[in-house]
Structure 1
Amino acid sequence: MFGSKKDETAGLSGVGNPEKEWRLIERVVMANTLELRKTRRWGIFFKILTFTYLFVLLGYVMFNTSATQDIGPTGGHTAVIDVSGVIAQGNLAGADSVVASLRRAVEHSDTRAVILRINSPGGSPVQSAYIYNEINRLRQKYEDIPIYSVIVDSGASGAYYIASATQEIYANGASLVGSIGVTAAGFGFQDLIEKVGIERRQFTSGEHKAFLDPFMEVDPEEQALFEAVLNDVHEQFIRDVQAGRGDRLADNDDLFSGLFWTGSQALDLGLVDGLKSTSELARDIGYPKTVDFTYHPSPLEQFARNLGVSMTKTLVSLANSGSLSLN
């Protein structure tokens, strides 16, 4: 029993030894420091690995994108260009993209024909007219390269405007074709804000600066002016379609009324020249090999475009908060 008490006394005296306590603390601190160093090294390693992977992936995408843009010799092919979606500036169906694709296609030494594969409900008359005029210019410059159109699901309004510039137009029997007209629509909220109790405050310089304001009654004079504008654009549309289609168009009063028809009906009206798909037309042309010349933005261009749109929206929202506008 006396021996056990001595051992307990020795153990208690050891716990209170400052030198041993500092050694213990030093070992704990050193162990933690080493662990932190290992963690930091692994963190740096994984960061480097991640950045390396991203750079390799980016380089791969850029290489493959540039490779698709550089089409080598084919021995003779039919170039295909998609006109898909709403025709508007900045869209892939806008004039910038379609015109660039057309020029690139006809400038290729092995292009024997070009097909515009159209699937669009229409869009901007200005953008459509730009494409229409460029097709006519290229047809005159490259007389040995015919340009055709194939309407897939829809080739309406501005999309048909574009198609009418090509040498021939083809569609499917169930395609929607036509809608040769111009439209503009809006809403009137003048009664709503009166019921809700909202006071409309607007300050303008110029008699018609608040033209067709949705919070005001429609002015008959302004309505007549706006209808005159629409009619003028419609007349341009009709004139260009007639110039492109010529005497192939049937004598029908509804042809330019804004109505649309199926591909089969459009064939009877002279709006299309036949019922064929893109591949069928390419085979009939004599060059069944098709090569896609549709412009596709690179991932970097798409990122920059999205970033630019986001920044523009932010700046516009800030600029419109209580500022004057010349729009």
Structure 2
Amino acid sequence: MSDDKSWQLLEKAVLAGVQEQRRARRWGIFFKILTFAYLFIALALFSPVMDFQKQAARSENHTALIEIRGMIADKEEASADNIITSLRAAFEDPKTKGVVLRINSPGGSPVQSSYVFNEIRRLRGEHPGIKVYAVITDLGASGAYYIASAADQIYADKSSLVGSIGVTASGFGFVGVMEKLGVDRRIYTSGQHKAFLDPFQPQKEDETVFWQGVLDTTHKQFIASVKLGRGDRLKVEGHPELFSGLIWSGEQALELGLIDAYGNASQVARDVIGEKEMVDYTVQDNPFDRFAKRIGASVAENMAIWMGFQGPALR
């Protein structure tokens, strides 16, 4: 019996040791994960996301690089606030010898594009010694071309897609579906045309004409800005389709005066500006802000589509 008790005690001690080791291992893993998460959050929130001022301070004379990527819209990476912040920082740095806007964007908000267009022209007027060069990579369409047209010169590749000088607004109509389902739409407004974009009601001719007028006015503003920026370089004569919303290859764009020459960002910095060292002034959100904005923008966009309204976009 004493031997049995001894073995039982020994077995319990061994099991207790094993459990303690497992418990310690689990806590060790937990604290490692916690430490990793803490470091990630600290780096994301407290490290400088775009410390272009320190980067520029370590540099001698340089070319300022500003990326314009993706949709041009409020709260997006290529928002007017972000682009203008980058532009002002680049122009205010005494070591900046030229600015390159590297563009890869399908366009977006006419308002945001207009803000940037006007700011580029204002900064060029205040700093005549600093020239701005737009370099279109894959795509520089609509609002992106709106911005590019404010530059001193525009460069692209032969295969780049350039132009699309037009305006669009889209929505859906569910009237036929509602009728088939036997569902009545009940909406109450205090203005005769307050619900004129409601997707659950039939379109009215006078409201369609009105909305087309809004788009036409925005299109005229777009064309006027492009003409202001490009001037006599545009081959308007004999090319009525230039402002029709069509998009052109870089090779066609050169013939139409939409761009000035072929080239990429590093080539322009080296051969045109004369400063091959480039300092990136692009403002970038930290990962948490990007995630939150994308979630918010996605919800807002889906709500707008569901309500049948998506504001005018330069495309």
Q: TM-score, normalised by structure 2?
A: 0.82
Q: Is 1:234 equivalent to 2:219 in the alignment? A: yes
Q: 1:73 to 1:110 in 2, by over 3 A?
A: farther
| Aligned-pair CA distance for 1:128 | 0.5
Partners in 1 of 2:50 and 2:257 — Cα distance? 41
Q: Which residue of 2 aligns with 1:263?
A: 250
Q: Is the 8 A contact 2:62 2:279 kept in 1?
A: yes
Q: 1:194 to 1:35 in 2, by over 3 A?
A: same
| Aligned-pair CA distance for 1:242 | 1.5
Pick the aligned partner of 2:171 from 186, 203, 211: 186
Q: Is the 8 A contact 1:73 1:110 kept in 2?
A: no
Q: Which residue of 2 aligns with 1:222?
A: 207
Amino acid at match of 2:267: E
Q: Which residue of 2 aligns with 1:131?
A: 116
Structure 2 unaligned blocks of 5 or more: 304-310
Q: Is the 8 A contact 2:50 2:284 kept in 1?
A: no
Partners in 1 of 2:10 and 2:267 — Cα distance? 81
| Aligned-pair CA distance for 1:231 | 1.3
Q: Which residue of 1 aligns with 2:90?
A: 105
Q: Is the 8 A contact 1:122 1:160 kept in 2?
A: yes
Q: Is 1:273 equivalent to 2:260 in the alignment? A: yes
The structure whose Rg is larger is 1
Helix, strand or coil: the match of 2:202? coil
Question: Greater shift after overlay, 52-61 or 157-166?
Answer: 52-61
Match runs of 1:68-147 below 5 Å: 70-71=54-55, 72-147=57-132
Helix, strand or coil: the match of 2:242? coil
| Aligned-pair CA distance for 1:29 | 6.4
Q: Which residue of 1 aligns with 2:284?
A: 296
Match runs of 1:125-204 below 5 Å: 125-204=110-189
Amino acid at match of 1:136: R
Partners in 1 of 2:202 and 2:41 — Cα distance? 55
Residues 210-260 of structure 1: per-residue CA shift (max 9 Å, x gap): 113222222111011111111111121112111111222222322222222
The number of residue pairs the alignment matches comes to 298
Q: 1:101 to 1:259 in 2, by over 3 A?
A: same
Residues 95-124 of structure 1: per-residue CA shift (max 9 Å, x gap): 122112212222223211001111111111
Partners in 2 of 1:63 and 1:204 — Cα distance? 50
Partners in 2 of 1:218 and 1:64 — Cα distance? 51
Q: Is the 8 A contact 1:80 1:293 kept in 2?
A: yes
Q: What percentage of residue pairs aligned between the two structures are identical?
A: 43
Amino acid at match of 2:279: V
Q: Is the 8 A contact 2:117 2:150 kept in 1?
A: yes
* More relative contact order, 1 or 2 (CA 8 Å, 6+ apart): 2
Partners in 1 of 2:141 and 2:25 — Cα distance? 60
Match runs of 1:55-74 below 5 Å: 55-59=38-42, 63=47, 65=49, 70-71=54-55, 72-74=57-59
Residues 18-53 of structure 1: per-residue CA shift (max 9 Å, x gap): xx9999887776666555444434433333333233
| Aligned-pair CA distance for 1:68 | 6.4
Helix, strand or coil: the match of 2:240? coil
Q: Is the 8 A contact 2:163 2:245 kept in 1?
A: yes
Q: Is the 8 A contact 2:50 2:282 kept in 1?
A: no
Q: Which residue of 2 aligns with 1:5?
A: none
Q: Is the 8 A contact 2:158 2:250 kept in 1?
A: yes
Q: Is the 8 A contact 2:72 2:109 kept in 1?
A: yes
Partners in 1 of 2:264 and 2:182 — Cα distance? 58
Q: 1:105 to 1:309 in 2, by over 3 A?
A: same
Q: Which residue of 2 aligns with 1:43?
A: 26
RMSD, aligned α-carbons: 3.1
Residues 274-318 of structure 1: per-residue CA shift (max 9 Å, x gap): 122222211222112222222221234335545x739x949x98x
| Aligned-pair CA distance for 1:191 | 2.2
Q: Is the 8 A contact 1:161 1:241 kept in 2?
A: yes
Q: Is the 8 A contact 1:212 1:219 kept in 2?
A: no
Structure 1 unaligned blocks of 5 or more: 1-13, 318-326
Helix, strand or coil: the match of 1:254? helix
